[in-house]
Chains A and B, each alone.
Chain A
């Protein structure tokens, strides 16, 4: 369990990441017991596996020309699945664009995501995901939104409610990142800021991004409790996020987590990482793969032998394919969809533009 002593021990100034299991999945401290039951741990592993499978298939759909640009999550799944467990129905999720497992846990369907990345805003509605904002493309610009949501939670005196907001390492250079941290601290907003430090902002490595010794340290100037965590360690992430949420809903204000991880895949399907990083580096991080480590833990601690993994993946693939087909069979993009959601009521000027275009279409037919 994390407490003030842990926070002191892992003070960002000491530049040491909070970690509970090693690269093979063995607990660093033999007396440590996870907060989660064996069944929950097993389910988490399956969720990691599902996220990875969905991701690989998404990249493959894109390669087949059936979907446009897609940002893969491979290597960062422990963060997402841990956050998915900690985030409650009443909590707000403010995504960046690389948190697939956390979105799915919130109720986003793969069909919607595929539809979105196929180029239709209908896929950005996230119909069944209560209190989840759409994907934010302009880097870090979503952070102030999270703080506004946090203000509203305090203003409406909502109990047991927090905001989870995501950004990448590159995002910590943006002004909005800093403005949001500052506002959140001043307003004591219950926001958990999660920096997924996957070492690269597209092609730009962290050392070109900042001279700070780590990213968690950026929270200290704002007087926000901050912790650097091994983001590929599912248990460390779960523990840190649970603690951060407990603090936030207890009225202690914001919390910052730097999740140290590695983007195993490309930035998006339009990117070629071999141009800017080495095989050695990739191999080094492969040893720390979150799926491998959680699997190691499950096997070592004899929770399960994971013998049905192939069957499991087969089932996942079938489901993912059917979601993709549902996205492909989504109704055609209509003129109404271009105009229909701009305002509560379509202003006369837009009615005029829409009518003119529809008249043109009728003339063409």
Chain B
């Protein structure tokens, strides 16, 4: 075991896969010499060579499109979109090709690649550096979309993503890149990409969240506990496919659900999760399934983020309202 933060755990997973599998390559903007703007790929080029860990020209569609070509030729590219907002130029490649090649060719060609995207706000960044685009990818048939919230999950899920036979969008909550440290096994292990995790058992209300919001919910639960409320917390981990079973079991037990996402509200992951609750646990409900999400606004620049980002206090207020409903 070794104490690691998220950045180190992801670096460790990449290092292990680069060592194990000669078909793995890692590339993107600044991922080589610089080791990535967040230092996630630091040291990997020195260890594994410039043919396997390298800087590409600055063009996200080109990065994604070339990765598809490599994947079809039997390689396993792990590419980086430097920031969430810069994944948009790659949309056409991801939505029109990467997600569809298996189906289009009836399984003749497959696209086993991983697209890493640091995402989310709260880091005092410029515009386009704080977006939560997971719904776009979750809405796209043919992709798997996952978001770890701990170093342990990040390592195991990234190894699983690289080994997955289908394209995986691996979103990294950059706000907590270095905020959480945890003991992580140094050997290889993998974590299934389609399972949510009950982080804390409780009786009165289920909270579903993922990524950087987990930490905010955990702070809210401390407040709620002082008020005498018992909260169950689910880390969704997989945006798609959604672990219907874990969610419905929990809400059938608690009768209440609050979904917390940083992503904007309309047509977002929270709407999807609440639909599932309605389908699976309708007769158990004691309060309206509720979502606490980012506004349907552009995420503000840093000075305005305090209004947009969801605080533990706001979450605690919703917990109280729903339990007392």
Tell me which of A92, A122, A125, A145 contacts B66 (CB under 8 A): A145
Interface residues of A in 297-336 (CB under 8 A from B): none
Q: Are B69 and A149 in contact (CB under 8 A)?
A: yes
The total of chain B residues at the interface (CB under 8 A) is: 47
Query: Judging by beta carbons under 8 Å apart, are A152 and B106 in contact?
Result: no
Which of A145, A155, A183, A342 is the most central at the interface, judged by chain B CB atoms within 10 Å of its CB? A145
User: Does A151 lie within 8 Å of B69, measured CB to CB?
Assistant: yes
Q: Render B54-79 as a binary contact track against A, CB cut-off 8 A, 1 for contact.
A: 00110101101111111111110100
B25 within 8 A of A: yes
Please name all residues of chain A whose beta carbon is closer than 8 Å to the beta carbon of B240 when the two chains form the complex: 349
Whether A176 contacts B73 by the Cβ 8 Å rule is no
**Stretch in B37-45, B95-103, B315-323 touching the partner:** B95-103
Assess the A344–B106 pair: CB atoms within 8 A.
no
Q: Are A122's CB and B106's CB within 8 A? A: yes
Tier of interface size on chain A: 35 or more
A127 to B92, CA, bound (A): 26
A122 to chain B minimum Cβ distance, whole angstroms, is 6
In the assembled complex, A341 has its CB within 8 A of some CB on chain B = yes
Q: How far is the CB of B89 from chain A (nearest CB, A)?
A: 8
Question: Which of A31-39, A79-87, A97-105, A133-141 forms contacts with chain B?
Answer: A133-141
- Tell me which of A145, A179, A352 contacts B72 (CB under 8 A): A145
B142 touches A150 (CB 8 A): no
A141-B97, A182-B57 as given contacts; A176 in contact with B65, CB under 8 Å? yes
Q: Which of A126-179 contact B (CB under 8 A)?
A: 126-127, 133-134, 136, 138, 141, 143-153, 155-156, 175-176, 179
A65 at the interface (CB under 8 A from B): no
The distance in angstroms between the C-alpha atoms of A146 and B62, with both chains bound, is 11
Quick check: is A180 within 8 A (CB to CB) of the other chain? yes
Do B194 and A347 touch (CB < 8 A)?
Answer: yes
| Closest-CB distance, A172 to chain B (whole angstroms) | 15
With a cutoff of 8 Å between Cβ atoms, the chain A residues found around residue B304 in the complex are none
**CB of B69, distance to nearest CB on chain A (Å):** 2
Contacts of A175 in B (CB 8 A): 59, 61, 89
Q: How far is the CA of A136 from the CA of B105 in the complex (A)?
A: 11
**Nearest-CB distance from B221 to chain A (Å)?**
28
Give B contacts to A, CB under 8 Å: 25, 51, 56-57, 59, 61-62, 64-75, 77, 89, 92-93, 96-97, 101-110, 141-142, 144, 164-166, 194, 240-242, 244-245
30 residue pairs from A and B, CB less than 8 Å apart: A121-B104, A122-B106, A125-B108, A126-B105, A134-B104, A134-B105, A134-B109, A141-B93, A144-B65, A148-B69, A149-B70, A150-B69, A152-B73, A152-B74, A153-B73, A156-B73, A176-B65, A176-B92, A179-B61, A180-B65, A182-B59, A182-B62, A183-B59, A186-B57, A341-B102, A341-B103, A342-B102, A343-B166, A344-B164, A349-B242
